[in-house]
Chains A and B, each alone.
Chain A
């Protein structure tokens, strides 16, 4: 089955700096890669996703890049703000396989003032 590894497990940045979280996946048939944000005590919520026919996707301060050859994808957050502090999860799935998501173990991002 699919295996998703996520690094780092914790990340501390100064407000205004950039943050990068990296994930690797094992199943070359995976073709859908979402990122979820989970604030303390809240449910995970999708912030951005990418499909394998695209190398990069951007939404305001958030971007995701995908390298299918190396089987890794990354989340980039620019101009970080305190409200970006949360746990971020990457995931991978075969969209044709019922969208069963395999999640990474999460990154605790702390944006310090």
Chain B
């Protein structure tokens, strides 16, 4: 089945470390998104990409960077992790066609100690 996958699924890291979260999709979608989920705050958009050459900041991009290595791959990096970046991170994809539905990956639970 066409799907959205994320690696790793769980990660514990220390303050100041660099960490990369990876997202891959086999849906053939051109649009990809990174969100973080915190209790009581819902899902907030970090970065989004409409195609390989198009990267845009979302509402909470400070402290994060992204790379769109191919249409199917979109990575999120924390250059110097801090404890308040502890959260559940979701990647999502959508098609630029008629459907506006976003398909989410299984999530990465990141803990920064």
Binding site for B on A (CB under 8 A): 1, 6, 9, 32, 34, 42-46, 49, 89, 93, 95, 98-106
Contact = CB atoms under 8 A, between A and B. Distances in A.
Given A98-B56, A103-B44, A105-B42, 5 more contacts: A44-B43, A44-B104, A49-B100, A99-B100, A100-B58
Interface of B: 31, 33, 40-45, 48, 50, 56, 58-59, 90, 94, 100-102, 104-107
A66 to B, nearest CB: 15
Contacts of B42: 6, 89, 103-106
A36 to B, nearest CB: 8
A34 B56 CA distance: 22
Contacts of A6: 42
User: Which of A43, A45, A104, A105 has the most chain B CB atoms closer than 10 A to its own CB?
Assistant: A43
Given A1-B59, A43-B90, A98-B50, A105 B41 contact: yes
A43 B31 contact: no
